[in-house]
Structure 1
Amino acid sequence: MNPAPDTGLVRAAQAGDPRACQDLFAAHLSLVYNVVGRALDGHPDTDDVVQETMLRAVAALPRLRDPDRFRSWLIAIAVRQTQERGRARGTSQARLRQWDGWTELPDPAADPEGETLANVSLSAQRREVAAAARWLSPAEQSLLALWWQEVAGVLSRTDLAAALGITVAHSAVRVQRMKAQLDLARQVVQAWRADPRCPGLDTAARAPRRDRGPLSLRRAGQHVQDCAACAGRLAPLVPAERLLTGATLLPVPVALAAKVAGLLSTGTLAAGAGSLGLAVGGWLRRAAAGLSTKTAAVGGSSLAAVTAAAVLAVHYLPASTPPAQADPARPTPSAAASAAPSASPAASPSRRPPTAAPPLTGVATADLYVAPDGSDGNPGTLAAPLASLNRAVELVRAGQTIALRGGTYRAAAPVTITTSGTGSQRITLSNYRGEQPVLDATAIRGNQWYVTQRASYWTVQGLAVQHAKTFPYVCVSCRGSVFQRLAMHDNGATGLVLRGPGTVGNQVLDSDFHDNHDDAAHGANADGVAFKDGDGAGNIIRGCRAFRNADDGIDLSGFADPVTVEHNWAYGNGVNRWALADFAGAGTGFKLGGGDPIPAATHVVRDNAAWDNASYGFTEQGNPGAIRVTGNTAFRNGGDGFAFWFSPSLLEANLALGNGRDDNRGDTARESGNSWNQSGWSTALLRSADPAAAEGPRRADGTLPGTAFLTTTRPGVGARMAP
């Protein structure tokens, strides 16, 4: 293991000490080259990305506030530059490789472009790993590139996790899942190369163009696992760690070292970093003179391929309604391998509110009535109500209202909503008057979403949904729908998800999403509420609370267009309240990025508060968009209050107190008027540090409760905490 740089060395380099600069960059050039080279899979852009990384690192080094984080900071810059280069090219290299026309999967030893893998002679199974890696998703391929450095002893698990912006426990689970996918791909490679090849595998592998990549692997892998003929041709798999341990690190090409030396000594760096550039440039020239004259290209046989996001967010929301035998929360078998983090004072469980029920405002009249003691043979009147939501959504038409009477509805089958309203004739699904309907999805199978809405212009209000084994409510490509005064709790996945292309103009208002925990996935896929893996303008989350969920509070991963997130509270997420083995809940209050790939979304985040979450309060999660983060509060979170490493986000008038670290920002973030930009801020300025009122019942109109919690004697900074 390469030791972490001495903090004194980093500080000396920041001050412009030439010798310190030489030693610091000498120790890390090879690391940068290997991370970028493995991730880009021999693309001609490799040298350019390494040069850009070094330039950015030298220019930004004086602004690095925590010298202990130098190595993970440098790795994060390297992977971020890799991501930017992939976005500029506009394609994912791995997904350009198709099954069509291949007599067998690409053999790294064939080296068709004359490139080699650092002259490493791969065994048959190493070659299988190299070919199999190309069928991982881009996020998994990027993770494999970093994990390779860990196996080689270059990075620690802490470095890997820090570079990805996740916790060590969460990174362990993601690595384990990636390895499971890699092993599945290795089996497919073995079966594909069998002579004769199984005809069924040919059929399974040759997917339509839009389905190639990881989905094609999933289809082929399922065939191999189910086919007796294919299974009989499989050899035992040597653990990937042993195979990768035998591969050497890539030496830095002489030409690249010379180019970097030239760039760093041109005097074009930003003011304050020029002395660093001159020092490092001098060392690089001397280093280049001592290198072998043979340039080692990073060939197409590299195990890790393609660009991916610097911060990974592995999500298990299916791309479509789950098949009959697939668990949507876990598309491939995997074994989590991280220890459950102990609850610290910063991530201590928040108290449970007196009631999980939403406020009881409801409709007074309706076109269709449903009651627990009704019958689906009834006409659906107030006197003769229907029995099931399923029947009501079959009968409803544009402009009509469904009223659910109070009581518990024991769902017997999933609900699919396909009838749309219009802008002037909305469909309303509501509780009746002051009554409380509770939809209990205990009987729904674990591979089925409970409610799937594929319709637009609905208002859904006043309901509680509980005990679904997976997603309780998913709205796919919905337009103009409103979800308000809901309580989605104790489900096996995220409480409410809006996803898919054309998710436009929806509002999630005055609702509580809590205590959702996906036990099968060790807590890694149960957020409060999410807009994810889709696009569309005009979406809003306002006045909601997301709390005590196993994973995150509010999640915007993979959503390409701006979402307005205002006046919401997220607290107590990511704490293992269920004694789950290998707990993997991330525990972020507001996750404003992530996905595969990560879109550049310019979300608007204002007047929100995050407290007592196990990890970050607010994080970009690799989102390269210019997020506007204004007037928010992060208090007593286990990780960073505000973590914005990569994006050019604007942070204004935010308050961070009592977090693991109050703020952690990169050199592209813009900021003004935040508590960390001012002197004199401490928890002594809080009017109240007791969250009891904030975590208690809502007001009668459904808005957030009144509280003095997190308000301060210095107004103008942080969340208002007022309805």
Structure 2
Amino acid sequence: MSPTADAARVAAARAGDRHALESLLGDHLPLVYAVVRRALGADPDVDDVVQETMLRAVRHLRGLRDADGFKAWLVSIAVSQIQERARRLARQRTRAAQPIDPGVDEPSDPAADVAALAEDRVDLDRELRLIAQATGFLNPAERQVLALWSQEVAGAMTRAEVAAALSLSPAHTAVRVQRMRARLDLALTVLRALRATPHCPGLGEAAAAWDRTAEPRWLKRLGRHVAACQACLLAGRRGVPAVRVLALPWLLPVPALLAGRLPEIVASTSGGGLGTVAVAVDAARRVVGYLNLKVIGTAGVGVAAATAAVLAVSGTTPPAGRPPAPGPPPQAAPATSAAPASPATASPSPSAPSAAARHVVTAEGVTSADIYVAADGDDTGPGTAERPYATLARAVQVVQPGQVVALRAGTHRPTATVAITTSGTASRRITLSNLVGERPVIDGSALPGGQWLITQTGGYWTVQGLEMRNAPSHAYVCRACRDSVFRRLWLHDNGDTALTLRDAGTQGNQVLDSDFARNHDTVDRGGSADGLAIKNGAGAGNVVRGCRFAENSGDGLDLSNFTDPVTVVGNWAYGNGHNRWDIAAFNGPGNGLKLGGGAPAPAVAHVVVDNASWDNAGYGFTEASNPGRLTVTNNTAYRNGGTGFAFLYSSARLRNNLALANGRDVQVGGGVDDADNSWGQDGWATTVLRSGDPATARGERAPSGGLPPTTFLLNRKDKTMGASMTAGAALAGTGRAAS
């Protein structure tokens, strides 16, 4: 998730509010560390450069003129420190070139079993190590651009912020990025060709005098041979494209010792109204929470253990990074107002925020809460485990930042729209969740016609483990929401779009491991009800990952008229746009992933990686007149009634996408760069698929939320082509079906 710095928080920090300052630095430390670590690699000076960046930010914060530009300003300080270090080393002539691992890639085995194939497809650590080695071939300026661009494609920064950090115009930044990407692609091709078996004799001759260190001059020499050698080019294209790896919304893990120094940095340099030295445990915990991320490169031993300890102590959901893969809770016994089997302690009155250490928040639910809601509760009671509230409306009315609301198992039937207006904070998020082992259902059938089931305008919420159904209109609408996480949700059979994020200020949200199925409308004859819509608004850093959009009357995913890039990774869209409800004059468009729209459609550079779209009535993937520079990589379109990949008006870049058995596999305009996709190669037909039966893909999720394991749409011809069908599927288990 992209860190954000609202103007009010920046203003408070500039005025001497130490809590606001620690919050700003804590939220942005992972981004700064990722930029520096990517630029410097495993250099021992990384921590020193990061620390100096933070020190300078504290010292000069009062001179920041544009509060909205805090992120770009902070990253520009990091870039300046990286450049200063490079100048110092150039004067000292002490820089050591990065050694290259002489190991070779194992040749692909067409007879490998499915488990081995899946394991290989998700082994991104190997690709990240290769990218780290390829970075050694770049010069310092190119490594700085790579460090910033990698955060852009992952959704942590916008192109405007990258340009500001480099002190360049967006147009000049685009040129620099293009040049860097060309050299990075060449370096990766050279490294893969060097590791290939059998070895190319010509490349061996060209590398005879090479001392196996990654230096820019050797990229030129080795690249000259590779560019002219078909065998080397073929071997060099076997790996996963760098943009696919870097587009995943992961930040580098911040060392705990560095994170723990933040309070000292703030206190030792603040002076004036920023207070004296004190131990700020909450700030340290908040930053260490970013350790709940996949390790990039070689840093970060014991991350999983550290993460478990942090969650067990704090009980809060990390506000950014890569949360655990959630999923729907298993079926539970009927609702009861009794306390959980083993609550940590008796819950206090919800009128006062509880200590964060009271509750454990996991992907499968919460173990205890501050506020309880049960179908047979009483809104005149205290909302405790023993005497829960009867309605969710009462709970969200009294909840305060830092608290946890547990919705008990059973069916809850609100008679009016539930309005969530209270906001949490970056360090005191609000959680609405099931209890571990229970499945609450919110049924909207008692609402008056046309009413929405839930609306939210507050930020910093985690909403998880809930089923919502039978709303007469929209199930859940989040307006100008920021930094909220929606995970392990099952929204189905509602009278309009299941989940909608809209309006300006929709930023930093994550929609994870959720199912949106069979939503349909009659007012627009099926044309409006989508699975998930992020539309009619603006805001950076929104991520959609591990979701299924199934059998909705409208589109699976709709990004119409949203003006900032959305990162869409590892989702499946299927069966949308078919008239399952006998709606007269049915009008459902039935696109799997609609990546634009509007009158006119804004130009937006959405990042779309590792998704699958099949059996939809309309397009599999469509720009919907979005003229922007979309990145569309490793996606699969199969058996869609319309075109598999329809990109006519954009300047999209399409790579390693697979299209089979669609009404028409591809339509691209003159501005589209669509090299290295299945439609430009021979030998692609449905016979290369390991399975054409989607039954397993439509099956049950694990309690932790992972997509079900499947061989559907995997192919025997080239495992780097198309979607992996493994995103989030590491845990198999029982749960509920998506449709």
Q: TM-score, normalised by structure 2?
A: 0.49
Letter in 1 for 2:451: Q
Contact 1:359 1:485 in 2 (8 A): no
Say whether 1:642 aligns with 2:640.
no
Contact residue 358 and residue 464 of structure 1 kept, 8 A:
no
How many Å separate the matches in 1 of 2:545 and 2:430?
Answer: 21
SS for the counterpart of 2:416 is coil
Within 1, Cα distance between the matches of 2:392 and 2:490?
17
Whether 2:492 is the aligned partner of 1:489: answer yes
Written as runs of structure 1 = structure 2, the 5 A alignment for 1:515-594 is: 515-594=518-597
2:369 paired with 1:371: no
Contact kept? 2:657, 2:678, Cα under 8 Å: yes
Deviations 1:16-45 (CA, angstroms, capped at 9, x unpaired): xxxxxxxxxxxxxxxxxxxxxxxxxxxxxx
Q: 1:432: Cα distance to partner?
A: 1.2
Aligned to 2:476: 473
Give the SS at the match of 2:644: strand
8 Å CA contact retained: 1:560, 1:600:
yes
Partner of 1:259: none
- Give the alignment partner of residue 504 of structure 1, picking from 498, 507, 521: 507
CA contact (8 A) 1:459 1:483 kept: yes
* AA matched with 1:393: V
Question: What is the rounded CA distance, in whole Å, between the counterparts of 1:446 and 1:631 in structure 2?
Answer: 42
Take 1:647 and 1:445, find their aligned partners in 2: how far apart are those partners? 42
Q: Give the CA deviation at 1:444.
A: 1.4
State the SS of the aligned residue for 2:665: strand
What one-letter code is carried by the residue in structure 2 that aligns with 1:708?
T
Measured after TM superposition, the shift of residue 700 of structure 1 is 2.8
Match of 2:641, SS state, is coil
Q: Which residue of 2 aligns with 1:422?
A: 425
Query: Counterparts in 2 of 1:386-465, with a 5 A limit?
Result: 386-465=389-468
Match of 2:635 among 632, 637, 648: 632
- The aligned residue for residue 93 of structure 2 is none
Aligned to 2:709: 706
How big is each residue's C-alpha offset from its partner over 1:253-288, in whole Å with a ceiling of 9 and x where there is no partner? xxxxxxxxxxxxxxxxxxxxxxxxxxxxxxxxxxxx
SS at match of 1:648: coil
Contact 1:464–1:486 under 8 Å retained in 2 = yes
2:599 to 596, 601, 606: 596
Q: Quick check: 2:472–2:494 contact (8 Å CA) kept in 1?
A: yes
How far residue 598 of structure 1 moved from its aligned partner, in angstroms, is 1.3
Q: Secondary structure at the match of 2:679?
A: helix
Match in the other structure for 1:720 = 724
Please give the residue correspondences for 1:610-689 in structure 2 after superposition, counting only pairs within 5 Å.
Answer: 610-689=613-692
Task: Please give the secondary structure, in 1, of the residue aligned with 2:523.
Answer: helix
How far the C-alpha of 1:673 sits from its partner, in A, is 1.2
Aligned mates of 1:536, 1:399 — CA distance in 2: 24
Rg larger in 1 or in 2?
A: 1
Between 356-365 and 679-688, report the one with greater CA deviation: 356-365
Q: Report deviation, 1:384.
A: 0.6
Task: Quote the Cα distance in structure 1 between the aligned partners of 2:533 and 2:599.
Answer: 16
What secondary structure, in the 3-state scheme, does the structure 2 residue paired with 1:520 have?
A: coil
**Which position in structure 1 is the counterpart of 2:29?**
none
Q: 1:385: which partner in 2?
A: 388
Distance 1:479 1:443 in 2: 30
Offset at residue 359 of structure 1 (A)? 5.2
- In the TM superposition, what is the alpha-carbon distance from 1:699 to its structure 2 partner? 2.0
Q: Distance in 2 between matches of 1:503 and 1:463?
A: 22
Q: How far did residue 450 of structure 1 move?
A: 1.6
Deviation at 1:597, TM superposition (A): 3.1
Measure the CA separation in 2 of the matches of 1:453 and 1:513.
18
Contact map agreement 1:548 1:573 (CA 8 A) in 2: yes
Matches within 5 A, 1:212-291: none
Matched, 1:605 2:608: yes
Counterparts of 1:503 and 1:366, CA distance in 2: 28
Q: Secondary structure of 1:615's match?
A: coil
CA distance in 1, matches of 2:374, 2:640: 43
Q: Deviations over 1:35-87 (max 9, x none)?
A: xxxxxxxxxxxxxxxxxxxxxxxxxxxxxxxxxxxxxxxxxxxxxxxxxxxxx
Deviation at 1:672, TM superposition (A): 1.5
TM-score normalised to structure 1 length: 0.50
Superposed CA offset, 1:555-608 (max 9, x none): 100100000000000000000000000000000000000023311110000000
Q: Secondary structure at the match of 1:684?
A: helix
Distance 2:512 2:329 in 1: 12
Write out per-residue CA displacement over residues 78-126 of structure 1, whole angstroms, 9 at most, x where no aligned residue.
Answer: xxxxxxxxxxxxxxxxxxxxxxxxxxxxxxxxxxxxxxxxxxxxxxxxx
Cα deviation, 1:373-397, whole Å, max 9, x if unaligned, reads: 1010110111110000000000100
The 1-side partners of 2:543 and 2:390 are apart by 33
Q: Is the 8 A contact 2:329 2:436 kept in 1?
A: no
Measured after TM superposition, the shift of residue 483 of structure 1 is 0.1
Equivalent pairs counted in the alignment come to: 368
What percent of counterpart residues are identical? 58
Taking only aligned residues, the RMSD between alpha carbons, in angstroms, comes to 1.1
- For 1:525, the aligned partner's letter is S
Change (3 A) 1:504 1:578: same
Give the letter aligned to residue 591 of structure 2: T
- Kept in 2: contact 1:399–1:426 (CA 8 A): yes
2:81 aligned residue: none
Kept in 2, the 8 Å contact 1:430–1:463? The answer is yes
User: In the aligned structure 2, how far is the partner of 1:595 from the partner of 1:492?
Assistant: 23
Q: Report what 2:337 is aligned to.
A: none
* Letter in structure 2 aligned against 1:698: R
SS at match of 1:392: helix
Q: Which runs of 5+ in 1 are unaligned?
A: 1-355
Q: 1:646-676 deviations in whole A, cap 9, x for unaligned? A: 0000000000000000001111110121000
Match of 2:139 in 1: none
Q: Aligned partners of 1:694 and 1:596: how far apart in 2? A: 36
Q: Is the 8 A contact 1:571 1:589 kept in 2?
A: yes
For each residue in 1:434-457, what CA deviation from the matched residue of structure 2 results, as whole angstroms up to 9, or x when unmatched? 111100011212232221101000
CA distance in 1, matches of 2:552, 2:509: 23
Look up the equivalent residue of 1:478 and give its one-letter code: C
What amino acid sits opposite 2:627 in the alignment?
A: P
> What is the rounded CA distance, in whole Å, between the counterparts of 1:422 and 1:374 in structure 2?
29
The answer as to whether partners of 1:359 and 1:462 remain within 8 angstroms in 2 is no
SS at match of 2:463: strand
Matched residue type, 2:587: A
Residue identity in the other structure for 1:595: G
The one-character-per-residue Cα deviations of 1:293-351 (angstroms, maximum 9, x if unpaired) are xxxxxxxxxxxxxxxxxxxxxxxxxxxxxxxxxxxxxxxxxxxxxxxxxxxxxxxxxxx
- 2:694 matched to 1:691? yes
Q: How far did 1:357 drift?
A: 5.7
**Which residue identity is paired with 1:578?**
W
Alignment-mate amino acid for residue 636 of structure 2: T
